[in-house]
Amino acid sequence: MSVTTPTFAVLKINFDATCKVTDMRFSDSADSTFVKAFENRKKWHNDRATLEKYAKIKGYKDLSLLIPVSFEPRLPDSDKHYTNNYIESYMRFNNKDFEGKAIMMPPIFIRVLAKGER
């Protein structure tokens, strides 16, 4: 990915009464390039099937899983700035504030190194 903007977002996964995934999306704070890369990944891996198996084991019915995701590019021109609107968008999905029952999962940190870094 060529994105140089750090992204902090929340991945929201909604489950219905039968533990089926009804919606899966990033909060409005997610960078659009990051979201597209995640959506393209679906071509190679069936996230829904894995998540539904997990939900059945855990008994997650009629709730949302909220998974904080931090994408931190360590590139020479990485731009770090956070506005109030950006912070508020962490818990906004499709321009609507999150409402309902949820379980907050541990965060996922994605570090991307510039070419040649270790």
Q: Is residue 2 part of a domain?
A: no
Helices (H), 69-113: 84-88
pTM score over 0.75: no
Triad 31, 42, 101: Cα angle to 5° = 70
Range of the domain at 17: 7-113
Kindly tell me if the per-residue pLDDT of 74 is higher than 70. Answer: no
Do 9 and 27 contact (CB within 8 A), yes or no? Answer: yes
CA atoms within 13 A on the CB side of 81: 3
Q: Is residue 33 part of a domain?
A: yes
Q: Is residue 1 part of a domain?
A: no
Give the mean model confidence (pLDDT) for residues 60-70. 92
- pLDDT tens digits, 15-53: 999 999 999 999 998 888 878 888 887 666 778 889 999
Kindly tell me if the per-residue pLDDT of 80 is higher than 80. Answer: no
- In terms of Cα–Cα distance, which of 23, 4, 2 is closest to 12? 23
Do 44 and 93 contact (CB within 8 A), yes or no? Answer: no
Q: Is residue 44 part of a domain?
A: yes
Q: Where residue 73 falls among pLDDT bands split at 50, 70, 90?
A: low
Per-chain mean pLDDT for the chain: 79
The tally of domains found in the chain comes to 1
